[in-house]
Amino acid sequence: MILHCVFMRLKSAFTPDDKQALFEAIVALKQVIPGILDIKHGPNVSPEGLHGGFVDGFAVTFESPEARDTYLVHPEHVAVGERIVSSTDGGLAGLLVFDLVI
């Protein structure tokens, strides 16, 4: 399995409703892209203060590396990914992606 973690620095003008709509679009990918086992999202709740400005994020659990690779090029993911990038402070610089084998 692969745990695909995405951490975001959302634009300061992003409202709670904007954030909810974005996370709903991310969660909806589970219904259209095969191999997604689970999607979790939310704010960083670590008390350490080491977030570097990445205070929101989500994690997608895939059944295999191949399922993750299918997701990466799937048109629905590409569309949501473009939406994520346009929502972050600095575009791609406002994202941190980290994949783990679990």
pTM: 0.95
pLDDT of residue 1: 98
3-state SS string for 21-32: HHHHHHHHHHHC
pLDDT of residue 86: 97
Q: Quote the CA–CA distance of 97 and 81 in Å, as a whole number.
A: 12
CB 95 within 8 A of CB 85: yes
The answer as to CATH 3.30.70.100 being correct for domain 2-43+53-101 is yes
pLDDT mean by block of 10 residues, the chain; 102 residues: 98 95 98 98 96 96 98 98 97 97 97
CB 14 within 8 A of CB 26: no
